[in-house]
Amino acid sequence: MNIRTVIRFTWIVVCCGLPLFKGKSEELASSTHLRHPVRMAWSNQGQSQVVVANSNSGSLSLVDLNTRRVLAEQSIAESISDMLMPGSLDQILILDDSQHGLRMIHFADNKFDRISSEFVPLAQNPTRIVIHPDSNRIAIASKWSRRVTLMSKGSSGKQSSLWQIEQVIDLSFPPGELTFIPNTNNLLIADAFNGMIVMMNSETQETYMACQLPVNNIANLTFASKPDTSTVWLSGESLNSYATTINPEVTWGVLMDNQVRSIPLKELQDPRRTSMHLGSVYGMGDETGPGGDPGRVLVKSDGALITALQGVDRVAIRPQLPRSYTDRILVGDRPIDMLLNREETMLYVLNQFSDSISVINLQQFKVVHEITLGPQPELTDSDKGERLFFDATLSLRGWYSCHSCHTEGHTTGLLNDNLGDDHFGSPKRILTLLGVHSTSPFSWLGKMNNLEDQIAKSLHQTMLHRGSIDDKAKLIATYLKTLKAPPSIHHARGNFNSNFFEVGKAIFRKEGCHKCHRPPHYTVPDTFNVGLKDEAGNVEFNPPSLRGISQRDTYLHNNGASSIEELLFERKHPDPTRTPINAADRSALIYFLNSL
């Protein structure tokens, strides 16, 4: 596992004198805008109030749960990806993914104090923040820069709550969920797209364990506070690359299984473990109801399992783990986070697309209140398409959404056997949809020239949608056209070198790579025979765009190569008979590709 420490800081960057916030400073609670909340935490006033971080509006909302009113909403950043409230501090930690940094907001007397706030630059694209149980260390995952930043609580002359960067660690995969292991200095880090989990020491960066689980889209990675702190709980989906998108295999969860796993820590650390059977698996979808895109997981002290089913707008409650019986309670649109009160009688569910909090009485097993975070404007076609993209009810029996395979528009990198190539029995790697609108034609065989037609075919033949399709396909296409290709690893890490890039670019042209991967999109609308053949006998394929290629971990239609080096220099793609290039040219070419 390629993990190394690249930066060690013993100081903090504080930008008190710079304009930190974009947006108006006046009260926003009653204004009409899309908020898209992503995180909710108890305020320092106890369990009568919560603070909500809103991604789309870049604001914080203070909500009184007793009066069911928004007391305040304050603009903080252009956008927010995550939030953390250290329990003993009058402070809110915000991940500002537009400015790529950590904002420390002073919070007291029900007010968000922007004037005394601090800002710390982070590795690009920070997406997740967690705190050690001792409350003295935090870890931040940055997806596209493939880094984890470790910070510790420091002090300054005026305050004792500043956070200082200790180390920034390079990873070989894009981190998503992460959590500290209780009573240790160890950290669990999950891949943002597939089932890779790594255990490392947060002080020495020694890797103790790397495990590839048969799970994708890990959306929860936590240790329950009770009854057992030695078991890690994760949620996700398990795509069977050998199953097809025919009705029976979709209906019975053979193709895609929605699940929660509980894995004892000692089992996870056991070198004799078998990844396929690791831990206990609790299915979220079955004959009693849908379970698409499981997310946040809570475990009550009596062992009852509570799971937010993001794709089907429900919360699943499994009172007794040994029994498969599950209650599913309909909540708002895309439940993204949950809080359980101290008495474990009330559950508060944060709904991303409906900008609301559903209040569930766990004794009555029903929603008793719906708290709105504020009025929403009329949705644009792109907004509607985004909701459809994350909607698992578009698929047969609610097993999966577009997001299930194309995580946040990207890809799990897995194989899927559908009729995209008009055949079963020849599974293909799931392609990224980031920047896809400018890379026509679509699919591996390049048979679809229109994005709307490709989406309509997927809705009909892959998701087995039973309703009208054309209008939905147009809306989803409108949303996809707003998604940009991911940044290259060199740009994301801030180490792009234009001289090396130009050298590699010249070799790229010299070797004729531009004939199939023509700038600026680094693809062409043709198909080519490059010595590959799928199980259906197809030998001509449309070349995928190379933009963001450094953010992929497998290559070719069948995942036949696990690195660019293997693809070009071991398999000698696309022509095994060509003359090998020297080591210096190899390095320059790889640098160029990893900069696209």
CA distances from 501 to 58, 420, 497, 587 (A): 35, 35, 6, 11
- Environment class of residue 11 by beta-carbon count within 10 Å: exposed (0-12), middle (13-18) or buried (19+)? exposed
Looking at residue 288, its pLDDT comes to: 77
Q: CATH number for the domain including 505?
A: 1.10.760.10
Write the DSSP assignment of 332-349 as a string of letters.
SSSEEEEEE-TTS-EEEE
Q: Are residues 66 and 158 in the same domain?
A: yes
In the predicted structure, residue 319 carries a pLDDT above the cut 60: yes
432 within domain boundaries = yes
CB 76 within 8 A of CB 105: yes
Express each pLDDT in 28-61 by its tens digit: 778 999 999 999 999 977 789 999 999 999 999 9
Q: Are residues 420 and 521 in the same domain?
A: no
Q: How confident is the model at residue 14 (pLDDT cuts 50, 70, 90)?
A: very low
Q: Are residues 142 and 10 in the same domain?
A: yes
| Matching residue, tokens 């609790």 | 282
54 within domain boundaries = yes
Looking at residue 25, its pLDDT comes to: 37
Q: How confident is the model at residue 227 (pLDDT cuts 50, 70, 90)?
A: low
* Residues in CB range of 126: below 8 A, 6 or more apart: 81, 82, 95, 96, 97, 100, 101, 102, 140, 141, 142, 149
Nearest alpha-carbon partner for 235 in 259, 263, 268: 259
Express each pLDDT in 266-310 by its tens digit: 888 887 777 777 889 999 988 778 999 999 999 999 999 999 999
Question: Rounded CA gap, 82 and 52, in Å?
Answer: 10
Q: Decide: helix, strand or coil at residue 146.
A: coil
| Matching residue, tokens 């020849």 | 426
SS3 track for 47-106:
CCEEEEEECCCCEEEEEECCCCEEEEEEECCCCCCEEECCCCCCEEEEEECCCCEEEEEE
- Determine how many CB atoms are found less than 10 A away from the CB of residue 412: 24
Q: Are residues 446 and 518 in the same domain?
A: no
Buried b (16+ CB within 10 A) or exposed e, 29-42: beeebbbbbbbbbb
Looking at residue 76, its pLDDT comes to: 92
Looking at residue 276, its pLDDT comes to: 75
326 within domain boundaries = no
* Mean pLDDT of the residues in the chain: 90
In the predicted structure, residue 4 carries a pLDDT above the cut 50: no
Q: How confident is the model at residue 24 (pLDDT cuts 50, 70, 90)?
A: very low
Q: Are residues 554 and 445 in the same domain?
A: no
264 within domain boundaries = no
Domain boundary among 480, 515, 535: 480
Question: Rounded CA gap, 9 and 7, in Å?
Answer: 7
For residue 25 the two structure tokens come to 């400073």
Looking at residue 487, its pLDDT comes to: 97
Q: How confident is the model at residue 321 (pLDDT cuts 50, 70, 90)?
A: confident
Q: Stretch 195-204: mean pLDDT, rounded?
A: 90
What range defines the domain where residue 528 resides?
489-593
Q: Please state the domain count of the chain.
A: 3
* Residues in CB range of 499: below 8 A, 6 or more apart: none
99 within domain boundaries = yes
365 within domain boundaries = no
Looking at residue 13, its pLDDT comes to: 42
Query: Pairing between strand 356-361 and 366-372?
Result: antiparallel
Express each pLDDT in 120-175 by its tens digit: 999 999 999 999 988 889 999 999 999 999 999 876 544 445 789 999 999 999 99
Domain boundary among 480, 503, 534: 480
* Residues in CB range of 582: below 8 A, 6 or more apart: none
Least confident of 9-23, 151-165, 429-443, 564-578: 9-23
CB 457 within 8 A of CB 450: no
Express each pLDDT in 383-417 by its tens digit: 999 999 999 999 999 999 999 999 999 999 999 99
* Residues in CB range of 444: below 8 A, 6 or more apart: 420, 421, 428, 429, 431, 541, 542, 557
Looking at residue 298, its pLDDT comes to: 96
Q: How confident is the model at residue 10 (pLDDT cuts 50, 70, 90)?
A: very low
Helix 583-593 with 498-510: angle, nearest 10 deg = 110
CB 335 within 8 A of CB 299: no
Q: Are residues 103 and 64 in the same domain?
A: yes
Express each pLDDT in 83-121 by its tens digit: 999 876 688 999 999 999 999 998 887 888 765 678 999
| Matching residue, tokens 């209906």 | 251
pLDDT above 70 as % of the chain: 93
Q: Are residues 61 and 133 in the same domain?
A: yes
User: In terms of residues, how long is the chain?
Assistant: 596
Looking at residue 492, its pLDDT comes to: 97
In the predicted structure, residue 472 carries a pLDDT above the cut 60: yes
Domain boundary among 126, 151, 178: 178
Question: Rounded CA gap, 405 and 80, in Å?
Answer: 24
Q: Decide: helix, strand or coil at residue 236.
A: strand
Q: Are residues 121 and 54 in the same domain?
A: yes
Q: Stretch 303-324: mean pLDDT, rounded?
A: 92
Nearest alpha-carbon partner for 261 in 204, 311, 329, 307: 307
Q: Stretch 547-576: mean pLDDT, rounded?
A: 93
CB 373 within 8 A of CB 354: no
Question: Rounded CA gap, 199 and 263, in Å?
Answer: 13
For residue 576 the two structure tokens come to 């095994």
Is omega for the bond preceding 576 within 30 degrees of 0, making it cis? no
Q: Are residues 60 and 168 in the same domain?
A: yes
Q: Are residues 454 and 433 in the same domain?
A: yes
Q: Are residues 425 and 525 in the same domain?
A: no
5 within domain boundaries = yes
* Residues in CB range of 427: below 8 A, 6 or more apart: 241, 242, 415, 416, 417, 558
Question: Rounded CA gap, 197 and 218, in Å?
Answer: 10
Q: Stretch 360-372: mean pLDDT, rounded?
A: 96
Residue 453 backbone dihedrals phi, psi, to 5 degrees: -65, -40
Q: Are residues 458 and 496 in the same domain?
A: no
Nearest alpha-carbon partner for 368 in 341, 390, 342: 341
Write the DSSP assignment of 298-362 as a string of letters.
EE-TT--EEEEETTTTEEEEES-TTS---EEEE-SSSEEEEEE-TTS-EEEEEETTTTEEEEEET
376 within domain boundaries = no
